[in-house]
Amino acid sequence: MKLLKLLATTTAIAALLASPAFAQTRIALVVKSLGNGFFDAANKGAQEAAAELGDVEVIYTGPTAATAEAQIEVVNALIAQQVDAIAISANDPDALVPVLQRAMERGIKVLSWDSGVAPEGRQLHLNPSDTNLIGETIIKLAADHLPEGGDVAILSAASTATNQNAWIEAAKKAIPQKFPNINLVAVVYGDDDSVKSTEEARGLIAAYPDLDAIIAPTTVGVVAAAQVVTDQNLIGKINVTGLALPSEFKQFIDNGASEGVALWNPIDLGYSAVMLANDLIGGAEPAPGVTLSLGRMGHVTLDETNSGPMAVPFTFDKSNIAEFATYF
């Protein structure tokens, strides 16, 4: 009798532990590279979303080098761990497709955010903002301080970065339409590496002695360019602008190397990515026109590629950067 009671109790406990009340959803937030302040801030938002949802674990991970090959290794490890969802900011839109397709075949929900994956490699993509508006914004940040026009150059991240390339194309289209006095003299790539970005910034300054502004739509590149302008005593001659983390860039607003930069809040972006991953795990079916919840960020409506924007960029300058630098 005692044995039967023991077996019954053991069975009941096993069933209880296996019930949904004790099951924890695991969402992997995969970033381009670890040690990047932007993605560290995104992780803060992701953890906030997990706490709000309850019973959700966010696995913050990524490679040490911002390459597709390194991200593929990370994704393979997550497939082996049988996570419930992968939310990835991709280093390459196409190279990651096969491994992410394998993840989906194993029942793992897949979405990209920030930097996208080709549609066949994910279920949906969350853009940080509207591509055309970002492209226009990064040119406007320079043009606002060049009333008579001038020469500008773009220092991007990797040449394969989906988001960077889309923003640059939008910027090129915006110039003749809205900023006809702005002359884009070059686009170079620093691969989101501080050393290479520094070298590329120096190269631009040497190659274009009449350069008025360097636009870097990358948090690594914009800091590197501003440091070069500072070191070469070019403050007041070359304005560095683009997309930047306030905490990393405040010193260059303060010293005059930059008149202002813009960015969406990466905390909100990580938060929204986890909310969307949870939507997918809960059974949401992405399709053009479908509206999904972003929690406190509202909602996003998917376009014909199952992509949608989170919010518009926000400008940081001397009037507000001190406040925002305390956040991220």
pLDDT digits 0-9 by tens, 90-108? 999 999 999 999 999 999 9
Longest dimension (CA), the chain: 94
* Segment 267-289, tens digit of pLDDT: 999 999 999 999 999 999 999 99
Q: How far apart are CA 204 and CA 15, in angstroms?
A: 65
Q: Are residues 107 and 172 in the same domain?
A: no
Q: Are residues 107 and 141 in the same domain?
A: no
Element of type H or E holding 51 = helix 37-53
Q: What share of the chain in percent tops pLDDT 70?
A: 93
Classify the phi-psi angles of 193: left when phi > 0, otherwise alpha if psi is within -120 to 50, otherwise beta.
beta
Answer for the pair 156, 218: CB distance below 8 angstroms, yes or no.
yes
- Decide if pLDDT at 16 tops 50: no
Mean pLDDT of 152-167: 94
Q: How confident is the model at residue 323 (pLDDT cuts 50, 70, 90)?
A: confident
* Segment 66-82, tens digit of pLDDT: 999 999 999 999 999 99
Domain end position, chosen among 236, 263, 290: 263
Of 96, 93, 54, which is closest to residue 73 (Cα–Cα)? 96
Q: Are residues 140 and 178 in the same domain?
A: yes
Answer for the pair 220, 192: CB distance below 8 angstroms, yes or no.
yes
Domain-located, residue 317: no
Taking the CA atoms of residue 245, residue 250, residue 256 and residue 258 in that order, the dihedral angle to the nearest 10 degrees is: 10
Q: How far apart are CA 198 and CA 231, in angstroms?
A: 11
What's the total number of domains in the chain?
2
- Decide if pLDDT at 137 tops 50: yes
In CATH, what number is assigned to the domain containing residue 64?
3.40.50.2300
Q: Are residues 120 and 7 in the same domain?
A: yes
For residue 116, the enclosing domain spans 2-127+266-311
Domain-located, residue 182: yes
Domain-located, residue 324: no
Q: Are residues 145 and 217 in the same domain?
A: yes
Looking at residue 192, its pLDDT comes to 93
Domain-located, residue 321: no
Domain-located, residue 120: yes
Q: How confident is the model at residue 301 (pLDDT cuts 50, 70, 90)?
A: very high
**Which amino acid is located at 39 in the chain?**
F
Looking at residue 52, its pLDDT comes to 98
Q: Are residues 116 and 151 in the same domain?
A: no
Domain end position, chosen among 232, 247, 263: 263
Q: Are residues 61 and 116 in the same domain?
A: yes
Give the sheet arrangement for strand 25-30, strand by strand: 56-61, 25-30, 85-88, 109-113, 124-127, 307-309
Of 212, 219, 265, which is closest to residue 239 (Cα–Cα)? 212
Q: Are residues 163 and 112 in the same domain?
A: no
End-to-end CA distance of the chain: 62
Domain-located, residue 325: no
Q: How confident is the model at residue 326 (pLDDT cuts 50, 70, 90)?
A: confident
Q: Are residues 118 and 182 in the same domain?
A: no
Q: How far apart are CA 245 and CA 248, in angstroms?
A: 5
Q: Can you tell me which residue has the tokens 């226009």?
A: 136
Looking at residue 328, its pLDDT comes to 84
- Decide if pLDDT at 242 tops 50: yes
Answer for the pair 76, 43: CB distance below 8 angstroms, yes or no.
no
At residue 143, the 3 state secondary structure works out as helix
Report the half-sphere exposure of 272 (CA within 13 A, side-chain side): 27
Element of type H or E holding 166 = helix 162-178
Q: Crossing angle for the helix pair 246-254 and 219-231, nearest 10 degrees?
A: 20
Domain-located, residue 221: yes
Looking at residue 23, its pLDDT comes to 54
Report the chain's mean pLDDT, rounded to a whole number: 92
> Can you give the pTM of this predicted structure?
0.76
Q: Are residues 36 and 184 in the same domain?
A: no
* Segment 188-237, tens digit of pLDDT: 999 999 999 999 999 999 999 999 999 999 999 999 999 999 999 999 99
Q: Are residues 259 and 270 in the same domain?
A: no
Q: What share of the chain in percent tops pLDDT 90?
A: 85
Q: Are residues 136 and 251 in the same domain?
A: yes
Answer for the pair 215, 155: CB distance below 8 angstroms, yes or no.
yes
Domain-located, residue 318: no
Of 21, 31, 22, which is closest to residue 59 (Cα–Cα)? 31
List the structure tokens of 90.
Answer: 């991709």
- Decide if pLDDT at 1 tops 70: no
